[in-house]
Amino acid sequence: MKGSRQRRFRHDYCIQAGGHVSKPKLAIYWAASCGGCDIAILDIETKILDVADFFDLALWPCAADFKYKDVRALPDKSITLTLFNGAIRSSENFEIAQLLREKSVVLCAFGSCASDGCIPGLANLTTRQDIWDYVYLKSPSVDNPQGIMPQTLCQVPEGVITIPEMWNTVRPLTQVVDVDYIIPGCPPQSDKIAEVVGAVIDILKNGKPLPPKGTVLGAGEKTCCDECQRSKDVKKITKFIRPFEIVPDPNLCLIEQGIVCCGPATRSGCGAKCVSAGVPCRGCYGKPVNVRDQGAKMVSALASVIESKDPKEIENIIAAIPDPVGTFYRFSLPESMLRRAQV
């Protein structure tokens, strides 16, 4: 928002036609996601009562029965806040993303799927056709002798029914519509959601200025390592080990123990919960500030700690990382520099 006035929520956003003052509207939508984000919202405990108290729900498919046509019938910009979780993977996801963009004053990419592509984004390592072939024909648990595949439309006695079309490439919400704010995490931590929700209510009640567009909310600016309580010394390793091969020392940095941990290339905000429990960081909060590609930064961070000056030995050490793409880009492949694999 350089050079323009700071945006403020004005009171008339809360006034509907006819001068009737009503509560601001909130929409929570899921596209290609697992539902964990919705559960994380419900998980903010008593704060959820503030939400219910302060907002009118306009759409929340996970928790209440609304129809798309009701949302279509709303005037433009009548939903004050939309928390959109899930990646854009089908024509339906895209249509609803566009619809909610039109109807919302503030659209938040909520969670890693909407901001970075997350786990659904790993589909970008292959093609839609290959996924379908595996899921409907080749998977060992599938019994489909007639080779029936999904169709986007089907003739039934009552007429033609249609289902959405799946895309070949998964995209985060940020690549398909204009997004105001990003709340990262898979899912975003409930305490952070409660903070953000509290801040939003404060802004709406007191007419405070909004943060600049594009701000990442509910997360820090440094890396997960910054929050990690484990002691860090000089990082020097001679081999990588898988987490199940050892019982990790509870106080020492996991990378120093040879475990691949994505902390150095992951945004802080989660409180390093996985790492405290002895599980290496997998990178769900996305890339930190000033990093453009999480995978590339992981390559940089991880390779630098190898203690060897012999190219052959280095190659052998590196060979112990079985799937660098799936490990370093687990949550951010569609948001990486190359967006998807060459197939």
Partner 1 sequence: MSFEPKILSILCNWCSYTGADLAGTARMKYPPNVIGVRVMCSGRVDPGFVLDALRLGADGVLVCGCHPGDCHYVEGNYKCMRRIPLLKNLLQGLGIDPNRLRLEWVSASEGGRFQEVVTEFTEQIRALGPFKPQEWSFNPVETVAPHHERIAAKAVPA
* Cβ atoms of residues 71 and 100 within 8 Å: yes
Touching partner 1, residues 109-128 (CB under 8 A): 125
Residue of 34, 176, 199, 203 that binds partner 1 (CB under 8 A):
176
Residue of 6, 139, 162, 238 that binds partner 1 (CB under 8 A):
162
User: Positive or negative, the Cα torsion across 68, 71, 77, 79?
Assistant: negative
From the CB of 167, what's the least distance to partner 1, in Å? 6
State yes or no: residue 328 binds partner 1 (CB under 8 A). Answer: yes
Could you give the CA distance from residue 294 to residue 332 in angstroms, rounded to a whole number?
Answer: 7
Position 237: which residue type? I
Tokens of 137: 């024909």
Q: Which is nearer to partner 1, 37 or 333 (CB)?
A: 333
Could you give the CA distance from residue 170 to residue 183 in angstroms, rounded to a whole number?
Answer: 19
Stretch that binds partner 1, among 40-48, 110-118, 145-153, 192-200 (CB under 8 A): 145-153
Rg from Cα positions in the chain: 23
> Helix or strand or coil: residue 89?
strand
* Cβ atoms of residues 100 and 85 within 8 Å: no
All residues at 6 or more sequence positions from 248 whose CB lies less than 8 Å from its CB, including other chains:
254, 257, 259, 278
Question: What values do phi and psi take at 58, rounded to 5?
Answer: -105, -30
- x/- contact string, 83-102, with partner 1 (CB under 8 A)? --------xx-xx-------
State yes or no: residue 276 binds partner 1 (CB under 8 A). Answer: no
Q: Which is nearer to partner 1, 197 or 301 (CB)?
A: 301
State yes or no: residue 321 binds partner 1 (CB under 8 A). Answer: yes
Residue of 169, 195, 203, 276 that binds partner 1 (CB under 8 A):
169
Q: Which is nearer to partner 1, 169 or 276 (CB)?
A: 169
* Cβ atoms of residues 319 and 260 within 8 Å: no
Residue of 50, 165, 191, 195 that binds partner 1 (CB under 8 A):
165
User: Positive or negative, the Cα torsion across 8, 14, 16, 20?
Assistant: negative
From the CB of 3, what's the least distance to partner 1, in Å? 27
From the CB of 123, what's the least distance to partner 1, in Å? 13
State yes or no: residue 337 binds partner 1 (CB under 8 A). Answer: yes
Stretch that binds partner 1, among 42-50, 178-186, 203-211, 310-318 (CB under 8 A): 310-318
Position 342: which residue type? Q
CA dihedral 258, 262, 265, 271 (to 10 degrees): -110
Could you give the CA distance from residue 228 to residue 248 in angstroms, rounded to a whole number?
Answer: 15
SS3 content of the chain, % helix, strand, coil (to 5): 35, 15, 45
Beta bridge mates, 15: 21
Stretch that binds partner 1, among 11-19, 31-39, 250-258, 285-293 (CB under 8 A): 285-293
State yes or no: residue 343 binds partner 1 (CB under 8 A). Answer: yes
* Cβ atoms of residues 176 and 92 within 8 Å: no
Residue of 129, 139, 151, 229 that binds partner 1 (CB under 8 A):
151
Q: Which is nearer to partner 1, 24 or 295 (CB)?
A: 295
From the CB of 124, what's the least distance to partner 1, in Å? 9
State yes or no: residue 131 binds partner 1 (CB under 8 A). Answer: no
Q: Which is nearer to partner 1, 246 or 341 (CB)?
A: 341
Could you give the CA distance from residue 32 to residue 152 in angstroms, rounded to a whole number?
Answer: 17
The footprint of partner 1 (CB under 8 A) covers: 91-92, 94-95, 125, 151-155, 160, 162, 164-165, 167-169, 171, 175-176, 291-293, 295-297, 299-300, 302-304, 306, 308-309, 311, 314-315, 318, 321, 323-326, 328, 336-343
